[in-house]
Amino acid sequence: MRVSNDPLEEQLATEVARSLARDYGADISSADWRHFGRLAGFTNQKPEHRISCGYAPYVLAEACQGKICPSASRRLALAQKSLAAIRASRQVYSPRTLSRSSKPSPKAFYTRYMSLYFKRYGEQIDKSRMDFAILRKMAQRDYTAAEMAEALREASPGLAMRKTGHEEDYITRTVRNVLDEYQSKHFFS
């Protein structure tokens, strides 16, 4: 079902897909901006979606002109309203409302978790995976990108030896990847 000729923001496209899934009794967990074709013939093989005779449901598209559906503007408006409500509810409680002094410094936070990982997995742990895991925890506690970069720069063990000549690139990519993952997972949860 086409709702726009222009590309949609990922979150908006996902909210439209979820509203369609709710309206048509589809699998909401498979409704997001990356899933295509579920109503165009590809089957959902999950047991709870099987029809009474045991087959997986499917739709045969007999014709498709690629036109925008008549309810597109209504669906987009409802999705935008829903997104606004989701965003507003996430701002009611945010770790940013805590005072800065209630959070440990980025280096102290990193060092604390590094020692826990070393105790659990030993000194031979994959340090890049450990960096990523600790930055995930920092994202959950609302540390900024600059603070996460500071933590890596000041506390990641052997960073200069592990990433010789491209430490800053590694820091930038790691922080960006953590934040991208965190924002996508927590926006839609």
Question: Please, which contacts does 24-31 make with residues 24 or more away whose CB atoms are closer than 8 Å?
Answer: none
pTM above 0.95, yes or no: no
Evaluate whether 92 touches 137 at the Cβ level (below 8 Å).
Answer: no
Structural tokens at position 83:
């997104």
Q: What is the pLDDT of residues 114-151, one digit of tens each?
A: 999 999 888 899 999 999 999 999 999 989 999 999 99
2: three-class secondary structure by DSSP:
strand
- Which residue in 125, 105, 103, 104 sits closest to 114, CA to CA? 125
pLDDT of residue 10: 84
Query: At residue 155, does pLDDT exceed 60?
Result: yes
Residue reference for tokens 């309810």: 71
Residue 3 to residue 167: CA distance in whole angstroms? 44
- The alpha carbons of the chain give a radius of gyration, in whole angstroms, of 22
Give the mean pLDDT of the chain.
Answer: 82
Q: Give residue for tokens 């070393």.
A: 118
- Structural domains of the chain, ranges and CATH numbers in brackets: 10-92 (no CATH), 97-188 (1.10.1240.50)
Closest by alpha carbon to 77, among 167, 153, 8? 8
The crossing angle, in degrees rounded to 10, of helices 167-188 and 10-24 is 30
Burial class (CB in 10 A: 0-12, 13-18, 19+), 9: exposed
